[in-house]
Amino acid sequence: MSKTGSHPTLADVARKAGVGTTTVSRVINGGNRVSPRTLNRVHSVIEQLGYMPNQAARILKGERTKTIGLVIPSIADSFFSSCAEAAQEIARANDSLLIVTVTNNDPHIEMENLNVLMRHRTDGLLLAPANYQSESLGEFLGRISTPVVSFDRPVAKTDVPSVVADNYNGARIAIEHLIGHGYKRILCLGGETTLYTIRERLRGYRHAIEEAGLPTMIDMSVKDYKSAEYAIESNLAASQPPDAIFTVKNSTTIYAFEALQKMKVPIPKSVALLGFDDFELASTLRPSISVIQQPVEDLGRIAAEILFEQLFPTKKKKHQLTKKRQDQVKLETRLVLRNSCGCNPAAMPEIIS
């Protein structure tokens, strides 16, 4: 067909296929009450003409937009990009397009993104909230009728279902492992203490340290490499320096490793290192870095599955949400033992979960 500058219409398809516009509409929406012969003929004409349904018109009629909004802090962070890819697979399986927006953990940008997605009438929202305790976010989500599922972080004081990792227990296990090695001065290093995940990891750290009767050593001043380097230098210069460092997120782990290497502090001989969150080079660095590993893909995948269970309530549900403060699925983390904590993985039968 020659290009004329205009898109083929539903009426064009009906005319060429020799059927009514209602029949074409039925074919586009699944082919109910259309004979196989007519179905094939209409599909053939649709392909021949290159007809695409007018999505704007379908929205005005109140039909699904077949879009899902994903609101995350960063697409550059491998954690959230992996969550996004897992969510996209579920969206595709449900004939939907995933629209990704980034907040940089800024509540104002987050609200702007949410308003844009609402104007586009997305069918549902997947959200990693910038501030899980934000009252304005909770009020906004309470006003809209669009289904929402949060992941990595809950939305406090709302009925929004969430999928999170067991950050508290992961941190507790990490500290208990370091204590088992004989370390007695364990520095907890990181930043962004307003984040739900960091608060839970700090809670796990404190629990394990206090249970063992050891002194708490917490430095949450890290924002970038320079601040991490300064924090480590300051703590190592103290009268009672740490003999182990527990970093609360992967970027802090990388900063700490680089700073210790630059200062020529041997790991784990002088200072052990164990981080929360795995990262791509953790197993290939020398020494390799022991970590608490999160089920990253599962966070995005399960959140998306729960969202589509809300959109299609007649489908058989995979996930039975637990009723606590809110509906929540909590996923287990696992301790991956490498060299930086003082372990010899080659002599171990398997990774400890």
- pLDDT tens, position by position, 168-188: 999 999 999 999 999 999 999
Q: How far apart are CA 311 and CA 334, in angstroms?
A: 32
Q: How far apart are CA 303 and CA 308, in angstroms?
A: 9
Within its chain, how far is the Cα of 322 from the centroid?
Answer: 20
Predicted confidence band at 285 (pLDDT cuts at 50, 70, 90)? very high
Predicted confidence band at 1 (pLDDT cuts at 50, 70, 90)? very low
Predicted confidence band at 33 (pLDDT cuts at 50, 70, 90)? confident
Average pLDDT over residues 155-178: 96
The structure tokens listed for 91 are 């969206």
Residue partners of 322: CB distance under 8 A and separation at least 6: 328, 329, 330
Predicted confidence band at 347 (pLDDT cuts at 50, 70, 90)? low
Residue 240 phi, psi dihedral angles, 5° rounding: -120, 80
Average pLDDT over residues 234-258: 96
Predicted confidence band at 8 (pLDDT cuts at 50, 70, 90)? confident
Q: How far apart are CA 113 and CA 107, in angstroms?
A: 10
pLDDT at 2: 42
pLDDT at 24: 87
Report pLDDT digits (tens) over 86-130.
Answer: 999 999 999 999 999 999 999 999 999 999 998 888 999 999 999
- Is there a contact between 253 and 267 (Cβ–Cβ < 8 Å)? no
Predicted confidence band at 147 (pLDDT cuts at 50, 70, 90)? very high
Predicted confidence band at 325 (pLDDT cuts at 50, 70, 90)? very low
Range name among 49-58, 62-71, 334-343 with the lowest pLDDT average? 49-58
Residue partners of 301: CB distance under 8 A and separation at least 6: 86, 87, 89, 90
The structure tokens listed for 145 are 């009728």
- Helix (H) / strand (E) containing 45: helix 36-49
Task: Quote the mean pLDDT of the chain.
Answer: 89
Which value, in Å, is the radius of gyration of the alpha carbons in the chain?
A: 26
pLDDT at 350: 45
pLDDT at 6: 64
Average pLDDT over residues 16-38: 86
Question: Closest by alpha carbon to 131, among 149, 111, 146?
Answer: 111
Residue corresponding to tokens 């907890």: 188
Q: How far apart are CA 351 and CA 353, in angstroms?
A: 6
Range name among 23-27, 135-139, 158-162, 345-349 with the lowest pLDDT average? 345-349
Predicted confidence band at 348 (pLDDT cuts at 50, 70, 90)? low
pLDDT at 63: 61
Average pLDDT over residues 142-150: 93
Q: List, edge to edge, every strand of the sheet that includes 148-151.
A: 97-102, 67-72, 124-127, 148-151, 162-165, 327-331, 322-323
Whether residue 322 has pLDDT greater than 60:
no
Question: Closest by alpha carbon to 173, among 292, 349, 87?
Answer: 292
- Is there a contact between 276 and 152 (Cβ–Cβ < 8 Å)? no
For the chain, the first-to-last Cα distance in angstroms comes to: 60
Torsion angle (degrees, nearest 10) of CA 297, 252, 218, 231: 180
Average pLDDT over residues 33-50: 88
pLDDT at 3: 46
The structure tokens listed for 330 are 């909590």
Instruction: Give the type of residue at 47.
Output: E
Predicted confidence band at 190 (pLDDT cuts at 50, 70, 90)? very high
Whole-number percent of the chain with pLDDT over 90: 74
What is the number of other CB atoms lying within 10 angstroms of the CB of residue 290? 26
